[in-house]
Structure 1
């Protein structure tokens, strides 16, 4: 069994990483960090502002966030959708965490998100399909576990907990109700 102290959620924009991450952190009674929020804090800029400076600028902050968050206490981390674009990010995160790919069907994502609020999706839904095709193998290759998020959030959390319990020794103590 693998012994890790962080759960790292990867997946497409709108796949449910942040919402599921918050629910998991409650289940495991640990802290939660949204990487985009962390990047906002360390850069003192919004994600949209960083993308205006160039995607490379944002991706460099993302790598900095991976390094800094890898030193944090037991945490559930929701990454940005493109964290898998730089190999160094995955190398850093794999050292300290269980990487879970939240795979949500594109049709479900389109039902749930406001495309206009996502910098990389400003060109519309065809951009989402292109991103999916570009990234799907990167997500699958980076992940220790893949979870389909096609039903309810509670189903996704239940499936994640089962997958962790079956495959990995995870260091968090679950809440006692």
Structure 2
């Protein structure tokens, strides 16, 4: 991009570019040069808005975590409609069909990034922790409606669902799992609870 041309929302443009690089080439290819090249801007733009590259990556992860809030609200709102299995299948497919799996790989591959994120998220793996809370909140709502057994351990079911779904989607290079494969895992995990 020529010098002096204004970028409407440089932070978002850089985040979107980083997401493209991450999804296409993986965490090891994510460099400041790769991000700014993908964004079509000078490298200085990134450093004008972020103290350093690890700071940029931490903000990227936090931005993508923020998107889970909307997904969590939509999932909670679906309580009492459809089937529990279908609602969870849709939510897990939406969650892991996006950049979430790549973000987990990014966080686990960069020590400095994990250190930065510990300031904002002291426990758990970013993205997976928030996703687990989303599923637990939904299962609690369904339990209150009587569609999940009153003795169901949602605090165990939620991370089990997240872990199982994450494994289904973890192959970055292969085709994403079919909806029926996700549904089968969900149905198996919650079979004793619905």
Q: Same fold judged by TM-score > 0.5?
A: no
Ranked by relative contact order (alpha carbons within 8 Å, sequence separation 6 or more), the top structure is 1
Structure with the bigger percentage of helix? 2
TM-score normalised by structure 1 residue count: 0.34
| Structure ID, larger Rg | 2
